[in-house]
Structure 1
């Protein structure tokens, strides 16, 4: 009679001791797991303690992948642990797959039979299995799977309750470790990226103290990471070659103003290098998730090559490739500026138009290479005679334009004389041949009454031709009332009209019969009369265009046309009759 109470008491003591052991194990796991963030360590601890808690032969931890299509046995403990760890299965396969897809626990054993269509090989033939889902913050992340009870037999309802309690306790810790692993991976990838990019990167805390710098930043600043970390970022910036701007406080300004600070064209000489570098600096604030300022990121972008390319392109866009002088575009822009300045401030400037006199002889005698070299050497000679602010440009061929700012007509004439003398004294030598080179210069004042850009260039061109027409290697000062210049301008316009009329077949030849005074002379004779028919149909007599043709070497072309046309018509009396009939309607000369 007394034995039964003693046995019951012993059984109760055993249960209490077991529960105390289980509670101690759960508490021990809780204490250990909160100090761990490495996912492998967390899962290994959970597998070992869960196997001990439910007395399983093997404890498996399947973790669902991100796409939720498969699960991977990421941690194992006990029998066949090394064989099972790392195995991956589709989410629907095995008892683990059933638990993960249904998000419900599963207990299989003698008293809990379960028929599975597809099991994993270590689930086959097992007398008992116990599986519970790992659910963290309402999302299933994996499970705990006890396969086979140590010593035989089946898992009990008590084992199921303990494993579910354990799963609830560790699931959040496992998820935290997963998140930490992902963050660490992202951090590693970010650092790999920062190590790989061509820009220098420095990260600071909210005080401007360096926390990280990549290899490019090490190279640009001359600081190694172990020495730079802990220093204020402003101390890392190398001094500028030019001290015109103070940029040493770029990080400090970013922190104080809480906005991005950009410094362009930061030019300095890195340690150990002989060539300067130009970088663009930008310091941007970093904010935490609660919008608090947490630090800055400082970017060094090497723009040395880009600057050099931009400088080269700007030079090429504004300079003549052969001579290195400014080109026509820059000349035109500067001339417009001087015209505006003259009108607004009543300032006086001067335009010089220069045309080399013997350039064609050099080109024809020695070839274009010699002509190019002549242009280069003459350009150098002229540049040596100029003031600092004068603008000399090659306008095309052997023609040059010179703009003399704040230089009146007398000043311009003196500089023109200096240039003419310098070029006259210059001798161009090519392959033992020596050439005298002259220059004809037209001088045009730029005043408030000078007119626009086009009229000034026309005036300069006319003055230059006047200088050339008077014997070459001369200077001609433009005057609006210059009769000879205006006449020559009219002749020059006729040169174009003669060429145009020849191309459009607007020359007209008339035959005027010559009648003999003595009746016995019966020979037919004619005088040929030349006219130009204008685009409107009017006839222009030769007195208007022949002087221009004679001055500008157009007479030979006209003579050939007249002779060829006359010969083609002499043999036809009908053609002569037609020419005679037309002549009656025009003046004889």
Structure 2
């Protein structure tokens, strides 16, 4: 192999390695590293370079990368080394549990590419050796003609796509890509063949034979022998496991963000989200000098639902009330559940007259609706306190207290009505 290579057992212990690997990690000729953990070897290398952070930098920045490798077994990953060097590690696992790891020194990538361009005239003489390297590489590799027709592919390339290598011969490189990738794949391949770009490296979506979507880091270079035709050498490094992990992480973060801002019972925004929206409304009022209306809504008679039918019935009735309120406000307005049977409502760019009109419609909608649960009808009322949100308001707490006090006066005045603060 023209690259550093090491064989590890199941426990990440070095079984054997070549001289290039020893040189890459600054192993002395007399030093025997068989039986040593790969992590320990990398740690000792960093400890010999205290001017770059040494062992402390290893613990903070390098060890987590190696730990990620254990979680996403088989996924290519990159490790920084002292003297501003990087290696990309690609591994292949045998049935016996051994891991053959190729450590590509990607620091030298550009120089090696330039050397390959200078050596194009010698490429044909080395073709047999070159193809042997491709066939044995743990990375998916293929050779295609200038028009993208696959001429050769190794086992790893076929395994990534779910085909035997011979089944890929004669197909186009983009035939196995997700359809949305076809046009961009053709365009970038044309730029590579015509010399507009010297190499490409991009993340691309492929379709496995079983129909599942796969992600790969696709790298390619173009070689010619000086004639009119050339060959495109492509590599595929499987990113599917990493992409799935990132997708699951993003979904989880999105779900957590939603839960943090919404009431779990009604699906409405919660008090925290409401206060954020009210703060934004205050700033908007100060910027535009246009008032908004803040409404504090409290159900009348809701305690009777829980007393008569239990909290399960109460929860269902709250959901129905929330749906009823949403049906009678504008899409631009902000409705939230503040807790218990209390709701908050921001009517954007609304004066008190239009606010009272909207609230009257809400009171009518709630008080004239029969909320049915298990063949039992419940009739509720709605008391509302209203206050303006103007450019002079400086405190969320003061605004909410003002609206809450007005709501309390509405209840004392007979319930099922609105009172302006």
TM-score class, shorter-chain normalisation, is 0.5 to 0.7
2:398 corresponds to 1:458: no
1:421 maps to which of 364, 369, 372: 364
Aligned to 1:524: none
Residue deviations 1:21-62 (CA, integer Å, cap 9, x gap): xxxxxxxxxxxxxxxxxxxxxxxxxxxxxxxxxxxxxxxxxx
2:333 corresponds to 1:390: yes
2:387 corresponds to 1:444: yes
Residue deviations 1:238-289 (CA, integer Å, cap 9, x gap): 345xxxxx884157448555464458xx8x999987xxx887675445699x
Identify which of structures 1 and 2 has the higher relative contact order when contacts are C-alpha pairs closer than 8 Å and 6+ apart. Answer: 2
Report the CA distance shift for 1:203/1:270 in structure 2 as closer, same or farther (over 3 A): closer
The Cα shift of 1:475 comes to 0.8
1:249 maps to which of 184, 196, 211: 184
The Cα shift of 1:395 comes to 1.2
The Cα shift of 1:414 comes to 1.8
Residue deviations 1:132-152 (CA, integer Å, cap 9, x gap): xxxxxxxxxxxxxxxxxxxxx
Aligned residue pairs, count: 276
Aligned to 2:255: 312
Aligned to 2:177: 237
Q: How does 1:247-326 map to 2 (within 5 A)?
A: 248-249=183-184, 252-253=187-188, 255=192, 258=199, 260-262=201-203, 282-284=217-219, 294-295=233-234, 297=236, 301=240, 303=244, 308-326=251-269
Report the CA distance shift for 1:228/1:269 in structure 2 as closer, same or farther (over 3 A): closer
The Cα shift of 1:468 comes to 1.6
Query: 1 CA distance for matches of 2:276 and 2:136?
Result: 55
Does the 8 A contact of 1:424 with 1:436 survive in 2? yes
The Cα shift of 1:443 comes to 1.7
Query: 2 CA distance for matches of 1:67 and 1:238?
Result: 39
2:287 corresponds to 1:335: no
SS across alignment from 2:329: coil
Aligned to 2:21: none
SS across alignment from 1:395: strand
Report the CA distance shift for 1:229/1:465 in structure 2 as closer, same or farther (over 3 A): farther
Residue deviations 1:463-486 (CA, integer Å, cap 9, x gap): 2212222111111122xxxxxxxx
Report the CA distance shift for 1:415/1:271 in structure 2 as closer, same or farther (over 3 A): farther
- Structure 1 regions of 5+ residues with no counterpart? 1-64, 69-175, 195-201, 241-245, 479-589
Report the CA distance shift for 1:185/1:370 in structure 2 as closer, same or farther (over 3 A): same
TM-score (norm 2): 0.53
The Cα shift of 1:322 comes to 0.9
Alignment RMSD, CA only? 4.3
The Cα shift of 1:371 comes to 1.2
Does the 8 A contact of 2:263 with 2:269 survive in 1? yes
SS across alignment from 2:274: helix
Query: 1 CA distance for matches of 2:265 and 2:213?
Result: 30
Aligned to 1:348: 291
Residue deviations 1:367-399 (CA, integer Å, cap 9, x gap): 211111111111111111122222221111111
2:352 maps to which of 404, 409, 428: 409
Does the 8 A contact of 2:271 with 2:337 survive in 1? yes
Does the 8 A contact of 1:392 with 1:401 survive in 2? yes
Aligned to 1:435: 378
Does the 8 A contact of 2:144 with 2:173 survive in 1? no
Report the CA distance shift for 1:343/1:67 in structure 2 as closer, same or farther (over 3 A): closer
Report the CA distance shift for 1:389/1:67 in structure 2 as closer, same or farther (over 3 A): closer
Q: How does 1:127-146 map to 2 (within 5 A)?
A: none
Query: 2 CA distance for matches of 1:474 and 1:426?
Result: 16
2:401 corresponds to 1:474: no
Structure ID, larger Rg: 1
Aligned to 1:583: none
Does the 8 A contact of 1:217 with 1:300 survive in 2? no
Query: 2 CA distance for matches of 1:383 and 1:452?
Result: 27
Does the 8 A contact of 1:250 with 1:283 survive in 2? no
Report the CA distance shift for 1:469/1:312 in structure 2 as closer, same or farther (over 3 A): same
2:313 corresponds to 1:370: yes
- Structure 2 regions of 5+ residues with no counterpart? 1-14, 19-125, 224-231
